[in-house]
Each structure stands twice: as structure tokens, then as C-alpha cells.
Amino acid sequence: MKPSIAFFDFDGTITTKDTLFEIIRFHKGSAVLNIGMALLSPALVAFKMNLISTQRMKEMVFRFFFGGTQIDTFRDKCAAFCAEKLPELVKENALQAIRQHLLQGHQVAVVTASAEEWVEPWCSSLGIVCIGTRLEVRNALITGKIQGLNCNGPEKVERIKQTFDLNGYDDIYAYGDTNGDKPMLEMAKYGYFRKF
């Protein structure tokens, strides 16, 4: 008998809010977050009007707040975020669903558009896999660019298939809360939209 596997979106599915702004606040403080978003507001308006892609917008945000940051320093702060701030953002019923899958012997993975740096430490603490957006790093510094594609929409399915041989699993579960999760939900035998 083949094992089963469950894929969970992160922001809005496991968490109560988008963690991008929370990670910026944790690293830089609320004042810097607010100033930065004000300065980026023309780009945000263009993004809302579909004149700028999600990937381009995220790269502008990453570059503004984290461009030139030492990757080791960033990872250390992200690990602190996972230990200190993230637990209060996690939905208890989503966490229980993850634990239930684990108790049944299922493989579990989080598949997220958030950067792996601030999701992977939390995943590791539960013994589950993290598949997320990858930040480009050069000379040990964050450039602000995304390595490859933003892990959303069809890219979630692509990254899953790069990580797992789905033919090796029997039942495939997936949980998500936005249109960007729908390709992943459609790939699954049991797809749950906004279950938590």
C-alpha cells in the first residue's frame, strides 16, 4: 500500500494573515514598514491595476526592505520570528490538521509563495517539508530578486513535482485559500478550499 501525502498553503491557510508584512515588521519595526509601504505605494497601485506582476512587486518589496542584507543574519532573524511571533499567527485547527496527517503516517509539506527562510524553521520544528519562494543570494547578500519563479499558481504544482514523485503516493490531500492555490487543489485527490 502506498503512503499518502498532504500539501498545505501557508499564508491565510495555516496563518491568520500574510506573513510578508509580519516578517518585515519583525526585522525592521512598524515605522520602517509603514514608511516603506508609503514609498512603494505608486508600485502597489500599479500592481492592483494589474500593470505589475506579482513577482515584480514582491521583488520590489524584497529589494527595498532586505536588499544587501547578509543572508545568515536574515536567516537568524527569521528563525527568531518562527520561534517568537509565528505561533500566535497559526490557526489552531490548521495545526491540528497537520498533526492528524502526521499521526496517520502521511508525508506533509507546506507549499508557499512566502520565502523559505521564514517558513522552513517552523516546518522543521514539526518534521514537515517546506517548499517556498527562493530568494536570490549573491556573495552572501540578498539581492532582492527571486530565484526562479514565485511559488504560486502553476508553479506550486511544478515545485511539488520537482520535490516528490507523486506516483509513489496513494491519497493526495491539498489545502489552500486563494486562486493561487487552485492548481495545487486540482492536482489533489482531496482538495480543500478555505477549510480552516
Q: What is the pLDDT of residues 107-166, one digit of tens each?
A: 999 999 999 999 999 999 999 999 999 999 999 999 999 999 999 999 999 999 999 999
pLDDT one-digit tens code per residue, 75-119: 999 999 999 999 999 999 999 999 999 999 999 999 999 999 999
Per domain, the residue ranges of the chain are 5-193
Across-strand partners of 50? none
Q: Which residue has the cell 498532504?
A: 6
Residue 37 identity (one-letter amino acid): M
pTM as predicted: 0.92
Q: Would the pLDDT of 2 be above 90?
A: no
CB 20 within 8 A of CB 112: no
How would you classify the pairing of strands 5-8 and 107-115? parallel
The confidence score (pLDDT) of residue 186 equals 95
Q: What is the DSSP letter of 118?
A: G
Cell of 195: 477549510
CATH assignment of 5-193, among 3.40.50.1000, 1.20.1070.10, 3.40.50.720, 2.40.30.10 = 3.40.50.1000
CB 144 within 8 A of CB 125: no
Element (H, E) at 122: helix 120-126
pLDDT bucket at 26, cuts 50 / 70 / 90 = very high
